[in-house]
Amino acid sequence: MAKDKDLNFLEALDITVAGAVASSLLPTIPAPEVASRMKATLLNRIKTAESSNRFVFADQGDWRTVAEGVQVKILRQGSDSRSALVKMAANSFLPAHEHDFDEEAIVLEGEVWLEDILCGIGDYHLAHAGSAHREIRTDHGCLLFIRNA
């Protein structure tokens, strides 16, 4: 029992010492070239890490044009699901279509007309497999997160 108390005290002491050291350091901002190198190193480690976690940063990935004024960036493509961002320019639309899988959509920016209902930031829509969408359109542009499963 005395050993457990000693270990707890040492762990607390290490945390206390580490906290004191950390709080005495002045924050610094690295030079742009150093920051760029650090970011590249970190992204490379993330890319090569064997992990179930995955990051796609805003400046990464390819936007593919699927209709005039409409672009899609695939975030994740699995055997039974897909996640993507859909960016629609002002006055653009997607034609009517059917769904082979359940599709969830969340409006991240702007507004979009779904089923003749104007949806804004934070609004959610679920289209079940086998259902059909009428034309999806936006007057001022929008960014959507879409997940098919």
Q: Is the pTM of this model over 0.85?
A: no
- b/e for 37-69, b at 16 or more Cβ within 10 A? eeeeeeeeeeeeeeeeeeeeeeeeeeeeeeeeb
Convert the pLDDT of each residue in 40-55 to its tens digit: 887 776 666 555 667 8
pLDDT tens, residue by residue, 84-111: 999 999 999 999 888 888 999 999 999 9
pLDDT (0 to 100) of residue 86: 96
Question: What band does 22 get if pLDDT is binned at 50, 70 and 90?
Answer: low
